[in-house]
Structures are given as C-alpha cells and as structure tokens.
Structure 1
Amino acid sequence: MAASTRREQRLAGIIASAMDAIIAIDEHHEITLVNPAAEQMFGYSAAALLGKPLSMLIPERYRGAHDAHIRNFARTKVTNRGIGRFGQVVGRRADGREFPVDAAISQMEWAGERLFTVTLRDITQRIEAETALRKNYELLDRIFATTHFCIVYLDRDLNFVRVNQAYADVGGYPPEFFVGKNHFDLYPGEKAEAIFRNAVATGQPFTIYANPFQYLDHPKRGVTYWDWTLHPLRDADGAVDGLLFALLDVTERKRAEREHAQLAAIVESSNDAILIRGLDRRILSWNTAAERLFGWSAQEAVGQPIDLIVPPERKGKLRRFIEGAARDASSSPVETTHLRKDGTRIPTQVTFSAVRDQQGEVVAHSYTVRDMSELKRKEKALRGYTDRLRGLSRRLREVEESERYAIARELHDELGQTLTALKVNLQMLEPYCAEGEAEDHLTEALMITGRALEQVRGMLLDLRPLGLEDLGLAVVLESHLAKQAEAAGWDAQFETTLPGRLRPELEMACFRVAQEALTNVMRHAHAKRVWVALGLNAGEVQLSVRDDGKGFDAAAVSDASPTGGFGLIGMQERVRQLGGRLAIHSAPGRGTEVRASFPFAPAGGREPAANASTHA
C-alpha cells in the first residue's frame, strides 16, 4: 500500500512539473484532471475546468469535428496518436484568444471505464518562427529571381545546382539548361578553375574586379568585364559542400571609365581653360590651360571660391547664364572679363554647361573659358581698317555723286537741249510735209527724237534726280513712284509725314534706296500693289517700300553675295554710311518690305514744322 502511494505521488509530481499541458477526460469528454501547465496555457484554474466538457477549450467551429475524432479514436483501440492533421489543432484561452497547439491523445480502461489523456504543447512561437522563415525564403527566392546580379549555386565538384534568371539570360539559355552540367565544361579556363577549386579546398572566399571574359558561343559580344565573388557554403559539420558564385556585369562601367579617362585627357590637353565649380561655388577641377590663362596652379585654385577669377565689378553678372544651362536652355558663349593672379583683367568667352548625376540632378557647373585678348586686338585693328575703308567708300560715293551730277548737267544742258531743239524744228516742218512720203519720214523722226529724249531723262534720273535739290525728297520720290507704277501697271500709294526738307546727302540716300527697291519690285516681284511711306519716328527718318508680290526667302539672301540680294549690298552701304539700319522682311507668297532708318538730319540743322500728305 505504501509503495502504491509512493508511485502515485511520483506520478502526480511528474504530471505537475511537466512543461506540456496534460488534461485527462472521461468517456463523456468531461475533464477529470489538469496540470499547472494546462492552467497556465488556457488561463483557467483547475477548479474552473474539472467536471467541464473539454470542448470549452476548443473554438466552437471545431468542436463537432473534435468530438467525432475522439469517438473514432475510442473505437480503434489504438493506445495513442496525434489529434488533427499532423497533430496540430486550435485551442481557445479563457479570454477568447485562439492559438495553435500540437496535441497527442492516449486512452486506457480503468475499472471498466474508458479514460483519455490529452497532451498539449503551445506552438505559437514555432509557427511564428516558421512563418518568418518561410517569408525569408520567399524573399530570398524573389531576390534570387529578380536581382540584376548573376547568382549561381555550385556543388563541391563545380556542377550547377541552381542559377537565377539573370545568369541564364546572360548565358543565352533557360535556367534548367545549366543544372547538372559542370561549370568548366561550359566555360573552360584553367586559371579560373584553379581559383574555384582552391575556394572549395580552403573554404576561403575570393573576389576579383573587372575580370575580362569572352563568350565562345557568343563571339559578337566581344570582351566583357565582370566583378565576381566566390562564397564557400558549408554543411552542418562545417565542411564545404558547395560555392555561391555571384557576378556583376561591369562592361558598361569599364567602358565609361575608359571614356572618362579619354575625356580627362582631352580636357587636360585642351587649349581652352576648363574648370568645374560645385554648387557651393568652390572650384572642383582646374586643367593645365586654366593654369596658363589665370596664373594659379591647380593646387592653388581647387577648393577656392570661383570669385578667385571674377573681377569685383563682374560678380553676379553671369548668374542667369549659369541658371539657363542648369535648365538645359541652349547656352551660347558669353563674352566677359576675368581676373588673373597678377591682377590684370583679360577679355574672355565662356560657355557654361551643367554637370549632372545619374538621376539627372545638377551637381556642378562646367566653365570652358577662352582667352579673347588676341581676337580683341585683331577686332580693334579690323575696326580701324573698316572705318578707313568706309571713309574711303564714302569719299568715293561723294566723288561718284559729284561726277554723276556733272554728267547729268552736261546731258541736260547739251544733249537734252539739242534733242529738244531738234524736236521743235521737226515739229515746225510738219506744215510743209503734210502728205506723202515726207510726212512718214517726219513722223518717224519725231518718234525717234521723243524716245531719245525719254532715254536721256531716264539716264538723268539714274545719274542724279535733278529736281531733288529744288523740289525735295517727298515730291521727287512721289513723282518717281507714279512713273514706275504707270509703266508697271501697279496700284501705288505714297504717304509722307516728313517734316520739311532733309540734308542733301540724306535725301539722296533715301531716294537711291527707294529707287533700287522699286526697280527690284518691277523686275522680280510681279506685284499688283506698292506702298511707299516716308516719315519721322522717335528721332529717326524711316523709309518703307512694300509690295504684295511673290516674295522670297529673305534669310537665304546673303549680303556678301556678289550676284544675289537684288542690290542689297549697295543699299546697305548707303544706309550704313549715314549711321542707319536696313531691314528686309519677306517670305515666299507674302510680299516684301524694304525698311531703312536714318538718324534725323534736317536741312539747315533746324526742324521745320511737320506736314503730312497721302497720294494714291
């Protein structure tokens, strides 16, 4: 009896100290025993559980299946087994929370009554760990499948176990093609194979950068470059049982490095100063030409503010050009002044460009600076030559106009008067040659004489409009327009708001420009209407000759062309000599306007009262 009591006490002690929850139920599924672990697991005291149905510890949706399971188990006479699929069921705590448990059930008969013992283990933490582990595996699989790194798993004999899609794409085969094949059967290389086998033998990782490689089965790719790493993989005993082989294609990086080196060489050998300034306005790079131009060495200049080479009066003047370059606006060279180490100022031409990172963000600004000192000296000398040539040209035109005037006078006084007298005498003979052959000859002689007089008048107009001195520009120009319109069949309109007379040389220039423009209209425009306007605006004499003719591409007409431009060179030179401007506006099918503007120069130096007239 004492021995039996001691066994019961030992059994009770074992049940009470067990880490797993132990619950005993009778054949009516009512709880007859619970240990402390069960009380802690479910949150009930033993008193609250004893005599209660086991189903109170199971969520309601599982209770029917659970009762059926125990009944089936009782019929099998099996001593013990797991409950539910793989022994996992769901428990319900006193506060209603559910949790996963591993459950095992055993049965026995005692005094003719069937008893069941259920052993339970809370596997919440295990499930959470398994879920986290599964998610990690899934994440690794996704990384393995989607990373741009080429990843390979090799066994210790260097056979492919698994490759990711990136590696397969580079090789030009599906991933399953590689599995089971030896790496160096596909890609032979004694040096590389020795490295791989050493990693297996020693367990030491190996890394190499920009290693050249050429695919024998893809010769058109040429030489490619790879960063790659070998990581030995160990089994549970610490022995190397495979390699993780990770590769990154750096062919483009290698090419970019080569191009960068070439660009650096170009920058260093450039005759123009090239420097880069950071967003903090400090100099980041400074080539040899910058050392020559500014006098500071690269060591002295790098790290200094860009104001090192900017004269005080020029600070901030170039900001809008720099900001424009940062906006990708078209950047034309800008002429400015820079400061040398010795304090002298030098004329320069600067081109700005933005330096961007891979995301397109501006990280610095590049300056290309050209010394314009020699060019400025040549420009100054050229301006001197040009001024002298223009003075000579002006003198030649004065001589030309003087000669024209003299020839015109000779023609008018000698030939013109002679032809006029001849015509008068021929007209006096008309009564004596009223009939017959004499009349015909006389009529023909009068026609010839008339044509000769018209030709002389035309020559006089080309040489010098004689009425210009006496009648003024407006009257002579209006008369000339009317004659041209009558000859060409134009609908012509003349308008003037010019206040009185102008200086003779200005009147002559305006007339010659208008004369040349009207000649061009007659020869080339096929116009129906012509407008000539002459006036004063904002201190300038403005002349406009406009037509509705066929027009032309004004941009394509070069003022340097010796054969084109419809007399553009002559008009431009006349206008330029008097300090004026000439503009031609035209487009195919939209007519043409010749517009000349001159500084106002009234006759006698005084501004007469304004008048205006319009004639059509």
Structure 2
Amino acid sequence: MLDLSENRVQTTKRFVHRDGHIVRVELNVVSIHPPEGGPRCFFVQAQDITDRLRAEAARAEAERALRSSELTFSQMFMGNPLPMWLYELGTGRLLEVNAAVTEKYGYGRDELMAMRVQDIRVPEDAARLEEFMAALRADGSAYSDTGLWTHRRRDGTAMEVNIYSHRVPYRGHDAGLMIAYDLTARREAENALRESEERLRTLVVNAPVVIFLLDRVGRLISAEGRALRALGLRPAELVGRSAFSVYPGNAQVRSVLTRALGGEEFTSVTEIGEVTLEVGFRPLLDDQGRLREVIGVATDISERTRAETELRERIAELRLADEERRRLLGHLVTAQEEERRRVANDVHDEALPTLAAAIMLVGQLSEQLPGPEEAQTLRSIDEALGAAVEQLRHLIGGLRPPGLDYGRLVPAIRSAARSTFPGDVEVTVTGELATEPRGAVRAVMYRIAQEALANCRTHAGATHVEVDLAEVDGGVRVTVRDDGRGFDAADIAESPALGHLGIISMRERAELVGGRWHIDSRPGTGTVVEYWIPSSGAGAG
C-alpha cells in the first residue's frame, strides 16, 4: 500500500507481466486537490526500470571485480620475488616497478620512475631491444620467453637475465609487462659445477687409480685414471669392450670379474704382470633389485707392495740383528758376572787367608812383646787387618751374591738392600714375580738395583728406603725410592759429574737390554729411580 499522506510519493514496485516475468516499476504519485467540496485526485507516472536496475547491478559487479582484480594484480606484482615492471611500449618509460626491481638493481623507486627500460640495458642490446618493442606492439598479446639479456645494476655491474614479456593495457597506456629471472647465481653454479667436474676429471685422470664402470654383462662403459698407463692401456681402447677380453689369460682377473657381476661387493688384490692392484667392486641395482651396473676402483699399490716387502725384509734383518745383539749382550753380561765370580773367588781363596794368617801372626807377636806401646801398636794393626777382612767379605758379597746364582731376584735384592744400609735406615723390599727372569736379564736387574741402593747410601742421607718390583707390560719394573736430601736431577742429566757415573751406568745397563730408566729428584724431596727391563731383554743366557 502507498502512504498518500504526502502530496508527492516516489516508490518502486514489483509487478507481474502478463507473460509471467517480473517487472520493476518506478511510481511517481502526485496528489491533486480539487476546488472545495470536490473529490481528491492523484496523478500517477509509472516507468519500467527493470533494464536500468540490471545495468546498474552489472556495473556494480564489474567495478567490484575490477577492484578485486586490481588488488590481486597489486599483490602479485608488488609482492613477487622476481623483478617485474610495466613500461610504455612506445617510449620505454617505466610506468610501475615492484620492490624486487629496487632490491636487485639497486635503484630507488623515484629514480626508476624517471627512467626508461633502455637505461638498464647494455649498449650492445639497444638495437635488439627496439626490434623487440616494435614486434611486441605489432603482436604481443602472447606471453613469451624473449631470451637472455644483459642488464646493468646501479653500481655498473652486469647481470644476465632471462626476460619473459606480455603486452597489457595499463591505466590508459599500451604497456609491456616484463619479468626478469636473474641467471647470475645459476651461471655461477653452472660454472662452479663445470670447474668441479673438471677438477674431478683431472683428479681421476692423474690419480694412481682406475675408475671404471661395467654393464651387467661385463662391458666397459667408462674407464679413467693414471694407473691405466702402468698397464699400457688407454680409455679409448677399453670402452665398449668386454672386461674379460682385456686379460683373457689371467685367471685371477676372470675370477674377480665373475664375483663382481654376481652382485657381490668386495675388495681384492690382483696382480697383472709387475703391477699390483687393489680393486674394490660395488654393484648398482635397479628398482627391482636387479644388477644394473658395477662400479670399480682399482688402486695401483705396486710401490706400496714393494715397500712393504722391503720393510718386512728389513724388519727380519733387524730382528736377526737384535737377536744377535741380545745373544752377544748375554755373553757380555755372563762374562762380566764370571769375571766378578773369579775376582770374588780369588779374594776369598787368596787375600782373605793371607789376611787371616797376618792376624794370627799379630796375635803371636802381641804375646812376645811385653811393652805397652808395642802392644798398642799390634792391637791397632790387628783392628786394621780385621776391618780389611770385613771390607773384603763385603766386596765378595757385592761381586757375587749367592742369592743371584741360586735364589730368586726379589730375595737377592732384599739381601743386597739389607747389607747396604746400617741398622738405623729402614729398608723395605716388596713385590713378587710370577715369572723369574733368567740369566743376564736377572743380573742386569740386580746390578741396577744394587747401584741405586749404593748411591742412596752414599749421597742421600735417607732414613727410609723402599724397593718395589712388579711385572708390567711383559717385563719387570723396579722402583727404588728414598726420603733423603734429593738433588736437581735435571742438572745431573745435562752435565753428569764424575761423582755421578753410577747414574750413567744404570741408564746404559737398562738401555743395553732394551729397557728404559728414569730418575726423579728435587732438593729436599728425596729421589726415585725407576727402570723397566723386558723379561727377554738379554736372551735366555
């Protein structure tokens, strides 16, 4: 219903046409007031606005679609990581650029908007660019790859790009849309790859190896490496041949090739004439697990094999020489001990009886001389002779202790330690040996311990001495430790004085039988002598 309270009413109504379709009608109703007492009249104007409303709706949809399209274009254009620009086809003037252009080319946006596409090209591309722009104006609706171009950055450096173009209308301009793919990184990668491949090929060709590839029936697909020269072969004469035909008479070659073509991965040493090769095979399988190819790497180990043979021979010679040295050393130590025994026996059998007889004569004379002065003189002589007898007995014990001939090493050293020190020095000897050293080895171990104890008695002024023996690393380690005054061991090592020849003697004895010797001492901290002798150091002697 119409509200006719106003004099003029405008409204839109829907009517059904006689053929059934809906018609939109705009009604303009004007109220007419007659003279007094007359009836009220209305003037009605009806206009069919169906087509107009449809047109307005279509225009609104088109505008919405345009705004959406412009937004999409802006997002795709401005946010694209690839450099993109729009330019006027007639002049080349830049109409729009995205952020990637400013980033890649180094120009500011304001600078670019005052430039032409010709300004970022090298002079050599000028004529080609004009031809391209003319062709694009003539027929450039299709998106096309225009090929490779060289562009200039703001700093003057060149950049190789691949350009894709399309002719588009842009804000009333006949424009060209261009996308640039920077090929610099790809070219650098390609160059680096070529250089890497060339280095690898140079390495393979000049390395003392042969790298080869076999198909599943044993034909050589490729073969490279300097080791081919040692075999008198060249790659060109091998490719395409059966590997079995290269050395048909070599059963070892045929055997390893058969194993490799059977899919086995292994390494084998193969001799071909005077050349020794270490060859590794690895199967390459297809998706079904079937053998497709076999890759092999053969290394020329001829020099290494000869060197190893020479080394084994030299080691055998050194072993024989060492055995001879050990044998001679055993004889030397045995001879020294025999000489010590002979001297001890001579002193025991000759010097001691002589001194005993002299002591008896002094006793007889003391009974015949009544005077006190003569008696005192004879008593002094008797005491001196008695002291000489004790010294000779001590010398005999040191030259040939009975325990060294008939006993074990630990008790022999314990006996030597006790006889070396007076009762006011505490001496302890610890350790047990499951395997008793024999002959010269035992003698050397004993003599070094004897010398260390003698040095301690003479120089250390110790109140406690410890000796420890232990079986370590196939030998015997002996440690002699005292709590004496100590000394600067470094000074002794650098300049051994005449009074320290015992230190040199101990070291030389240990080294002669393949052992090692060490001394550690500082003033006021005591001294530690440690040495290790292999159980077989001087032979079985």
Residue 148 of structure 2 corresponds to: 208
- How far 1:409 moved relative to its partner? 2.2
State the distance in 1 between where 2:206 and 2:43 align.
109
* 1:363-400 deviations in Å (ceiling 9; x for gaps): x9998753223322221222122212221221122112
**Which whole-Å CA distance do the structure 2 matches of 1:350 and 1:572 have between them?**
47
Q: Which amino acid aligns with 2:148?
A: I
Deviation at 1:180, TM superposition (A): 1.6
Give the secondary structure class of the aligned counterpart of 1:229: strand
- Determine the C-alpha separation between the residues in 2 that align with 1:308 and 1:36: 102
Corresponding position of 1:348? 278
Give the CA deviation at 1:457.
Answer: 7.4
Partner of 2:315: 386
1:33 aligns with 2:15: yes
Are the counterparts in 2 of residues 155 and 242 from structure 1 also a CA contact under 8 Å? no
Partner of 2:192 in structure 1? 256
Pair 1:570–1:177, CA change in 2 (3 A): farther
Distance 1:545 1:351 in 2: 54
Higher Cα Rg, which structure: 2
Q: CA deviation at 1:292?
A: 5.1
**Alignment CA distance shift 1:37-1:286 (3 Å):** farther
What displacement does 1:265 show?
3.9
Letter in 2 for 1:402: H
Return closer, same or farther for 1:389/1:290 CA change in 2, 3 Å cut-off.
closer
Closer, same or farther: CA 351–510 of 1 in aligned 2, 3 Å: farther
- How many residues align? The count is 426
Structure 2 contact 212–296 (Cα < 8 Å) conserved: yes
Q: Report if aligned partners of 2:209, 2:299 keep a CA contact under 8 Å in 1.
A: yes
Give 2:311's aligned amino acid. L
* Percentage of pairs with the same residue: 12
| 1:532 aligns with one of 451, 459, 469 | 469
* Residue aligning to 1:299: 239
Deviation at 1:178, TM superposition (A): 2.3
The answer as to whether partners of 1:25 and 1:33 remain within 8 angstroms in 2 is: no
| C-alpha distance 127-484 of structure 1, shift in aligned 2 (>3 A) | farther
* Among candidates 95, 102, 109, match of residue 168 of structure 1: 102
- 1:109 corresponds to which residue? 29
Matches for 1:231-380 after TM superposition, within 5 Å: 231=165, 233-235=167-169, 241=176, 243-250=178-185, 252-273=188-209, 275=211, 286-289=223-226, 291=228, 297=235, 299-300=239-240, 312=259, 336-338=267-269, 346=276, 348=278, 370-380=299-309
Q: Which amino acid aligns with 1:231?
A: S
Give distance in 2, aligned partners of 1:466 and 1:311. 72
Secondary structure at 2:155 match in 1: coil
The aligned residue for residue 194 of structure 1 is: 127
Aligned-partner Cα distance in 2 for 1:150–1:299: 48
Q: Does 1:398 align with 2:327?
A: yes
Distance 1:151 1:299, change over 3 A: farther
Q: Which ranges in structure 1 are unaligned for 5 or more consecutive residues?
A: 1-23, 40-45, 51-103, 320-335, 353-363, 550-565, 576-581, 585-590, 605-616
- The alignment's TM-score, normalised by the length of structure 1, stands at 0.48
**What code does the residue aligned with 2:225 have?**
T
Check whether the contact 1:155–1:241 (CA below 8 A) recurs between aligned residues.
yes
Q: How far off its partner does 1:122 sit?
A: 7.6
Cα separation, partners in 2 of 1:173 and 1:129, compared to 1, 3 Å? closer
Determine the C-alpha separation between the residues in 1 that align with 2:441 and 2:180. Answer: 87
Provide the C-alpha distance between the structure 2 equivalents of 1:351 and 1:592, rounded to a whole number of angstroms: 57
Match of residue 495, structure 1, among 431, 437, 447:
431
**Matches of 2:342 and 2:441 in 1, distance apart?**
25
Look up the equivalent residue of 1:337 and give its one-letter code: S
Cα 1:417/1:271, change in 2 over 3 Å: same
Give the letter for the 1:376 counterpart. Answer: T
Once the two structures are superposed, what CA deviation does each residue of 1:424-471 show, in whole Å capped at 9, x if it has no partner?
Answer: 9499589999989x979x8799699959966x977x69xxx9854422
Counterpart contact for 2:10–2:27, Cα < 8 Å: no
Matches of 1:470 and 1:135, distance apart in 2: 111
Displacement after TM superposition at 1:191 (Å): 0.6
Seen in structure 2, the aligned counterparts of structure 1 residues 242 and 349 have a Cα distance that, compared at 3 Å, is closer
Amino acid aligned to 1:348: E
Question: Structure 1 residue 594: deviation in Å?
Answer: 8.4
Q: 1:243 to 1:596 in 2, by over 3 A?
A: same
Partner Cα distance (2:418, 2:63) in 1:
108
SS of corresponding position for 1:378? helix
CA distance in 2, matches of 1:314, 1:449: 89
Q: Is the 8 A contact 1:155 1:161 kept in 2?
A: yes
**For residues 549-585 of structure 1, what are the alpha-carbon distances to aligned partners after superposition, in whole Å with 9 as ceiling and x for unaligned?**
9xxxxxxxxxxxxxxxx9799769748xxxxxx9x9x
Report the alpha carbon displacement of residue 529 of structure 1 after superposing the two structures with TM. Answer: 7.5
Give me the whole-angstrom Cα distance separating, in 2, the residues matched to 1:33 and 1:399. Answer: 137
Say whether the 8 Å CA contact 1:311–1:338 is kept in structure 2. no
Distance between the aligned counterparts of 1:267 and 1:534, measured in 2? 53
* Matches of 1:123 and 1:303, distance apart in 2: 80
> Which deviations, in whole Å up to 9, do the C-alpha atoms of 1:125-163 show, x marking residues without a partner?
86996687467425523652xx2x444444433444444
Compared CA separation, residues 231 and 411, structure 1 to 2 (3 A): same
Letter of the 1:208 partner, please give it: L
Q: Distance in 2 between matches of 1:347 and 1:570?
A: 45
Note closer, same or farther for the CA distance 1:313–1:254 as it changes in structure 2 (3 Å cut).
Answer: closer
Q: Tell me: CA distance 1:192–1:533, structure 2 relative to 1, closer, same or farther (3 Å).
A: same
Q: CA RMSD in A?
A: 6.7
Tell me: CA distance 1:179–1:29, structure 2 relative to 1, closer, same or farther (3 Å). Answer: closer
Determine the C-alpha separation between the residues in 2 that align with 1:484 and 1:35: 145
Q: Distance in 1 between matches of 2:258 and 2:451?
A: 54
RCO higher in 1 or 2 (8 Å CA, sep ≥ 6)? 2
User: TM-score when scaled to structure 2?
Assistant: 0.53
One-letter amino acid matched to 1:370: T
1:181 corresponding residue in structure 2: 115
Q: 1:389 to 1:453 in 2, by over 3 A?
A: farther
Residue 112 of structure 1 aligns to a residue in which SS?
strand
